[in-house]
Amino acid sequence: MRSDDMNMSRLAPGQPARIVEIGGGHGIRQKLNLRGISEGSLIRVISNTGPITIEVDRNVVSIGRGMAQKIRVAMV
């Protein structure tokens, strides 16, 4: 892990990032994959109050804060 990696829940609105790693087991990876979120995806945070709302591949997706904390991202 690089020093500039952080979890998704710490990104500010409007901030773009690339997903570096998804922690957790098969279940969380499958749920995120069904929403178009996988390692290597480019995302942009829309809102980080309450659930984290992001844009990924021109789709808007909201995920819980606990799930977002398991996703490591790198600033782009």
Alpha helices in 1-76 (DSSP H): 26-34, 65-68
| Structure tokens, 25 | 């087991």
Domain ranges in the chain are 5-75
**Stated pTM of the model:** 0.89
Confirm or reject CATH 2.30.30.90 for domain 5-75, answering yes or no: yes
Instruction: Centre a 10 Å sphere on the Cβ of residue 62 and count the other Cβ atoms it contains.
Output: 13
Tens digit of pLDDT for each residue in 13-32?
999 999 999 999 999 999 99
On the question of pLDDT at 3 being above 70, the answer is no
Which residues, 6+ apart, have CB-to-CB distance to 17 below 8 Å? 8, 11, 42, 43, 44, 45, 73, 74, 75, 76
CB-based contact 61:53 (threshold 8 Å): yes
Q: How confident is the model at residue 4 (pLDDT cuts 50, 70, 90)?
A: confident
Q: What span, in angstroms and rounded, lies between the C-alpha atoms of 31 and 65?
A: 14
